[in-house]
Amino acid sequence: MGLPVFHGRVLGGAPRPRFLVQAAAVVAILVVVLVVRPGTHREPVPGQGGPATSPSTVETSAPPADEGGVYVPVPGSAAATGRAVRVAESFATAWARPTLPAATWWRGVSAYAEPGYAALLRTVDPANVPADRVTGAGSTVSTADGLVVVDVPTDAGTCRVTVADTGGTGEWKVSTHSWRPGGRR
C-alpha cells in the first residue's frame, strides 16, 4: 500500500522543489514585513532625543585661479555658463556674415571654434549662410559637464551652438552648431 497523497505531494515523502521555492518566497516576504518595515525609518527630531543636530555650514573660499592669478570659472557654474553663452553669441555673430570673403569669414568663426571644428568650417562657403545678423541674446538650452548648448536668434532663424570647456580650463570653444530656419528678414 502506498503513502497518502495531499495536493500533489506524497505525505511522508520528500518535499518537491516547487514547494521549497514557494516556502522561501513566503519567508522572504515575512522578513521584509516584520523586520525591515519599509517606510518606517524616521530621522531624529532635534530636542526629542537622538543625536543633536546643528545647521550645516558651508566653507567658502576664493574662486579658483590659474597660476597667473586669473579667475577660472568652474565648469557648470553660473560664471562658466555665462562665458560659454558669450562665446556662442560671438561665434553666431561671426557666422552670420554671408557677404564676407571666405578667408575673412573663416578667420572670424575659427577664433571661437575648437581646432577640428575650425578645420571643418574652412569648407563652408559663407554665401550659403542664411542669416545676416544676430537679433538677440543667446539662451541656454542645456548644460552638462563641460558642455553648454545655446540658442542664438538671428534674422532668419536660430543658430544652436554647442560650446565645450576644452581641457577643463575654462577656455570655451564651439564644438558644433546647427541651424533652425524661421525668423524675420
How far apart are the C-alpha atoms of 81 and 79, rounded to whole Å? 5
Q: How far is CA 111 from CA 81, 105, 153, 167, in A?
A: 19, 10, 20, 17
The whole-angstrom separation of Cα 166 and Cα 102 is 26
pLDDT at 184: 52
Query: Which residues, in sequence order, are bridge partners of residue 178?
Result: 160
Distance CA 140, CA 118 (A): 22
DSSP 14-41: PPPHHHHHHHHHHHHHHHIIIII-TT--
| pLDDT of the residue at 173 | 96
pTM for this model (two decimals): 0.59
Domains identified in the chain and CATH numbers = 78-181 (3.10.450)
Q: State the pLDDT at residue 145.
A: 84
The rounded average pLDDT for each run of 10 residues, N- to C-terminus, in the chain (185 residues) is 51 54 55 45 43 36 43 53 94 97 97 96 96 96 92 96 90 94 67
